[in-house]
């Protein structure tokens, strides 16, 4: 699933296209996308984009927020969630349309925003700035880990009372936005914290180390254009390079890059992960 660095790569790709001309045509496949009360097809509102002029492309957690000026001058926001396998990017209208394309907005300069999603866990939604930012899912998101004021205290305030395993707690988008399994596992390793210890057991110093580790792995991911595992491709099918820089994720059984002990796979809440049992020792309550 695309996490913060992958979504940020897509956002940058969309911004780089510098679209400035209004939407003249819209097409939506007959398939439903993301399910859940915030994403019902009848509430997608994509028709509102007709005549809209694209503005800044922002990101919050794993969501892309594309600001547009509506035909009636009001500010609109196109909310995009890539789900498990969503891709979106800008193409010329004469470029072939790939399988699993579910949405196309054509602009007056003959370029198109295309949304492709084989597994259809992604979602699209248009609303006013208020309806998008002040309602779920965006309103419910926790702090942004790459923002200036993110640090150990922010993380501790969000998760310091959680009895859940640390890795699992980090996946809660209400606690910290944009983290998924890959970057949670990597950050626990970088901070030398056992991913299975209860979040509430961390000291102030450990929260601070963990916050630094999260920023480190996320920034590395962004610099590398995201991690390309099975499903993620950015805008024009470019492939991120971060998988080569993952230190433990997907490397169970290989030697720990720090101490050489064989890395151990684990499963918690039905999700796998990898850790070094020497560098990330078990927590023992005193």
Task: Tell me whether residue 271 is one of the annotated catalytic residues.
Answer: yes
Give the chain's length: 286
Nearer to Zn ion, 124 or 256 (CB): 256
Q: Find the shortest distance in angstroms from Cβ 189 to Zn ion.
A: 8
Q: Find the shortest distance in angstroms from Cβ 232 to Zn ion.
A: 28
Q: Which residue among the candidates 60, 62, 125, 209 is catalytic per the annotation?
A: 62
* Contact call for residue 193 and Zn ion (CB under 5 A): no
Q: How far is CA 118 from the centre of its chain?
A: 17
Pick the piece of the chain touching Zn ion (CB under 5 A) from 123-131, 151-159, 238-246, 277-285: 277-285
* Contact call for residue 278 and Zn ion (CB under 5 A): yes
Q: Do the Cβ atoms of 168 and 266 come closer than 8 Å?
A: no
Q: Which of 197, 211, 99 is nearest to 151 (CA)?
A: 211
E strand spans, 111-152: 111-116, 123-128
Interaction mask 41-80, Zn ion, x per CB under 5 A: ----------------------------------------
**# residues contacting Zn ion (CB under 5 A):** 6
Q: Which residue among the candidates 164, 241, 271, 278 is catalytic per the annotation?
A: 271
Q: Do the Cβ atoms of 170 and 176 come closer than 8 Å?
A: yes
Inter-CA distances, 17 with 12, 46, 63, 258, Å: 9, 21, 18, 41
Q: Which of 10, 3, 34 is nearest to 181 (CA)?
A: 3
Q: Find the shortest distance in angstroms from Cβ 258 to Zn ion.
A: 4
* Contact call for residue 191 and Zn ion (CB under 5 A): no
Round to the nearest angstrom and report the end-to-end CA distance of the chain. Answer: 38
Q: Which of 167, 173, 214 is nearest to 190 (CA)?
A: 214
Task: Tell me whether residue 62 is one of the annotated catalytic residues.
Answer: yes
Pick the piece of the chain touching Zn ion (CB under 5 A) from 36-44, 47-55, 86-94, 248-256: 248-256
Interaction mask 256-275, Zn ion, x per CB under 5 A: x-xx----------------
Q: Which residue among the candidates 3, 8, 156, 190 is catalytic per the annotation?
A: 3
Distance CA 78, CA 150 (A): 26
Please provide residue 92's backbone torsions phi and psi, each rounded to the nearest 5 degrees. Answer: -80, 150
Catalytic residues: 2-3, 62, 271
| Contact positions vs Zn ion (CB under 5 A) | 256, 258-259, 276, 278-279
């Amino acid at each position: 699933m695309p996490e913060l660095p992958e979504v940020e790569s897509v956002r940058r790709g969309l911004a780089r296209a510098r679209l400035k001309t209004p939407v003249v045509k819209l097409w939506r496949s007959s398939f439903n996308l993301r399910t859940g009360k915030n994403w019902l097809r009848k509430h997608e509102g994509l028709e509102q984009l007709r005549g809209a002029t694209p503005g800044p492309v922002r990101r919050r957690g794993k969501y892309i927020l594309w600001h547009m000026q509506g035909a009636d001058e009001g500010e609109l926001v196109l909310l995009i969630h890539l789900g498990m396998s969503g891709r979106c990017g800008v193409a010329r209208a004469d470029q072939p349309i790939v399988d699993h394309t579910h949405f196309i907005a054509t602009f007056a300069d003959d370029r198109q925003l295309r949304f492709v999603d084989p597994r259809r866990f992604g979602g699209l939604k248009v609303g006013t700035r208020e309806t998008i930012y002040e309602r779920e899912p965006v309103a419910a998101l926790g702090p942004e880990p790459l923002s200036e004021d993110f640090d150990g205290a922010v993380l501790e305030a969000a998760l310091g009372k959680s009895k859940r395993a640390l890795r699992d707690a980090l996946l809660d988008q209400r606690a910290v936005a944009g983290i998924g399994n890959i970057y949670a596992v990597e950050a626990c390793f970088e901070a030398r914290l056992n991913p299975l210890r209860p979040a509430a057991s961390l000291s102030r110093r450990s929260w601070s180390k963990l916050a630094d580790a999260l920023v480190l792995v996320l920034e590395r991911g962004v610099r590398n254009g995201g991690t390309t595992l099975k499903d993620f491709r950015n805008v024009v099918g470019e492939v991120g390079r971060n998988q080569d820089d993952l230190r433990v994720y997907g490397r169970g059984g290989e030697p720990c890059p720090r101490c050489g002990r064989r890395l151990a796979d684990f499963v918690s809440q039905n999700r796998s992960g990898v850790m070094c049992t020497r560098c990330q020792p078990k927590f023992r309550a005193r």
